[in-house]
Chain A
Amino acid sequence: MIKNRLFYSVVWFLSILTLAVLLMIIGYIMYRGLTQISWEFLSEKPALMGKKGGIFPVIIGTLYVTGVALVIAAPIGIAAAVYFVEYSKEGRLVRIIRTFTEVLAGIPSIIIGLFGFAFFVVFLGFGWSVLSGGLSVSLMILPILIRSTEEALKTVPLSYREGSLSLGASKWETTYKIVLPCCKNGILTGLILSIGRVVGETAVIMLTVGGALKVPMSLFDSTRTMALHMYILAAEGISQERAFATAALLVLIILVINGLANIISARIGGAHGK
């Protein structure tokens, strides 16, 4: 009896503790940060390295890098998933390719950052720029996009494909017009999760985008994302208030992203059930 009670107490305690830690982290960041967020904070230029003023260029920088990464990774990721699920035949080569896709997902961000620095920034001569950053980060989200598209493709019933093929459509026509449209939600979930990943990424951005505190005018300009800005504010002790405000904004974005992803995948579950 005592053993039972002890066991359940420990399990309950640790689980509640985990939940409490989560609530505490989010609550504390929000409590200290949300009050600092104002229209001026979002729309004005920073002054004194970010000690005063807003984070407008940083928001634009974040959008820019995220956009570039998605534009590069989304078509490749979706196409790769289509290849794996619809086209490839089981074989040694395909197994190796798939393994390496998993390997890419496991590479820590600082290594991707080092690579981005050596390859995009230095070797290809893109410099610290939106382009270098976008390309580097696209490597991190590629596995996410491939995986979520693959999952979605696998839920499309075989009969859809058979029906389309037997009506005389070619394989690509079937894939493009019948199978892929059924995967809209799955692909969307992948895209949303990827956005979350890019927005939260810091190490890669630090090594490949530089950290210029200005609105990037071209792909070859250096800029800053919110996560990097927040790191610099905190690490260099520039402004705790501004760091909290940026952190709160980041957490808010992550909350929205996770919520959206959950809603969409719940819808997939519903569609799958019918």
Chain B
Amino acid sequence: MKASISEKRGRRSIRETAIERILFLAGITATISVALITIFIFGSGIPALLDSGFVNFLVGTNWSPANGSYGTLPLTAGTMAVTLTALVLGIPTGIACAVFLSEILHRKAARVFKFAIELLAGIPSVVYGFFGLIVVVPAVRTYILPLVRLWDPDAHTTGLSILSGAIILAVMILPTIVSLSENAISSVPAEYREASLALGANKRQTITGVLIPAARSGILASIILGMGRAIGETMAILLITGNVAVLPKSLLDPVATLTGTIAMEMSYASASHQQALFAVGIILFIIIMLLNAVAQGVSKRMGVNQ
């Protein structure tokens, strides 16, 4: 009897150990995937970087794969132009929505508003792109262009432009900015609010003078993550910005972005062109990793502050 129980225990402990090993394997799958992604993106792209010369590849202004010339500055500039314009539109709107949600709306209404913001995050990017193509692009051409012409008579645009892309991107990064900023604002300790009100500040002064400054790390992290989202966005941009790999001079110029170029050209690229696109992927990868690391650092600091 005793022997069989200990035997049973032995078998059971073997099974338990095996299960733990399997669970551990599942646990490291994501890590292994990140490693593989890094290896394959860098491995496939580095030959192109070496071919063109690292500096040439980064700051060359001529992207014309047909001639074997791979200068990515126009692409980086395109990505940055669209992203920064989107942030200019998205940051104030996002923070306003966050304040609205956490400080102004009543609980029930806030829940509805939150659901709406979540929906905004759920809409596929290709649908945003299509909406931009059908609605925003013509709107920029017919309504914004005449306004710009008032002081610059030579202005011209097809509507496929930085501005159109940025408008749609601003909407797309709103959910990120709103939900994280709202978290940050509502996790400011109640004493701050009470102290400010007790000192005679009104609600508006409390929000702008106490709550937003106290939540600034969280808000900053949300902005950085939103920026990462904007830089990585592909399908929406692809349909709206016109995909012309030239350094832009105005917000109404078309641009090609890092992501859009990869998506567009991958399907027909020759071998060396493909390598160059992987090298573009490396640039993108590094930018996103840096931004994520900064966002992590910022929100960690927030944890210490509170």
Contacts and interface: CB of A to CB of B under 8 A. Distances in A.
Interface of A: 3-4, 7-8, 10-15, 17-19, 21-22, 25-26, 28-29, 75-77, 79-80, 82-84, 87-88, 96-97, 100-104, 106-115, 117-119, 123, 139, 142-143, 146, 170-172, 196, 199-203, 206-207, 227-228, 230-231, 234-235, 240, 243, 247, 250-251, 254-255, 257-258, 262
A84 B277 CA distance: 36
Given A108-B232, A234-B133, A83 B23 contact: yes
Contacts of A79: 22-23, 26-27
A217 B285 CA distance: 35
B31 A100 contact: yes
Nearest to B178: A18
Interface stretch (B36-44, B150-158, B215-223, B247-255): B36-44
B301 interface: no
A29 B131 CA distance: 8
Given A110-B263, A207-B266, A18 B97 contact: yes
A87 B37 CA distance: 27
A124 B135 CA distance: 42
A7 B266 CA distance: 48
A232 B122 CA distance: 21
A25 B281 contact: no
- The 7 lowest CB-CB distance pairs between A and B, nearest first, are A108-B232, A200-B124, A79-B26, A14-B96, A83-B27, A83-B23, A100-B31
B139 to A, nearest CB: 12
Given A110-B263, A230-B130, A231-B239, A142 B124 contact: no
A254 B119 contact: yes
Nearest to A247: B127
B33 A139 contact: yes
Contacts of B120: 18, 22
Interface centre among B23, B28, B120, B174 (most CB of A within 10 A): B23
B107 interface: no
A107 B288 CA distance: 7
Contact of A231 (B19, B119, B126, B134): B126
B284 interface: yes
Contacts of A146: 30
A267 B116 CA distance: 19
A107 B22 contact: no
Given A14-B97, A103-B34, A110-B281, A88 B27 contact: yes
B288 A202 contact: no
Given A4-B204, A26-B119, A108-B234, A14 B93 contact: yes
A91 to B, nearest CB: 12
B20 A87 contact: yes
A160 B5 CA distance: 26
A206 B31 CA distance: 25
Contacts of B123: 25-26, 200, 251, 254
Contact of A262 (B30, B115, B238): B115
12 contacts: A15-B100, A18-B93, A28-B131, A82-B26, A83-B23, A107-B37, A110-B263, A202-B234, A234-B130, A240-B134, A251-B123, A254-B124
A250 to B, nearest CB: 6
B23 A115 contact: no
B259 A10 contact: no
Contacts of A28: 131, 135
Nearest to A75: B26
Given A80-B29, A108-B232, A110-B263, 15 more contacts: A11-B96, A22-B119, A97-B28, A100-B30, A108-B234, A111-B285, A170-B16, A206-B266, A227-B126, A231-B126, A231-B129, A234-B126, A235-B238, A235-B239, A254-B122
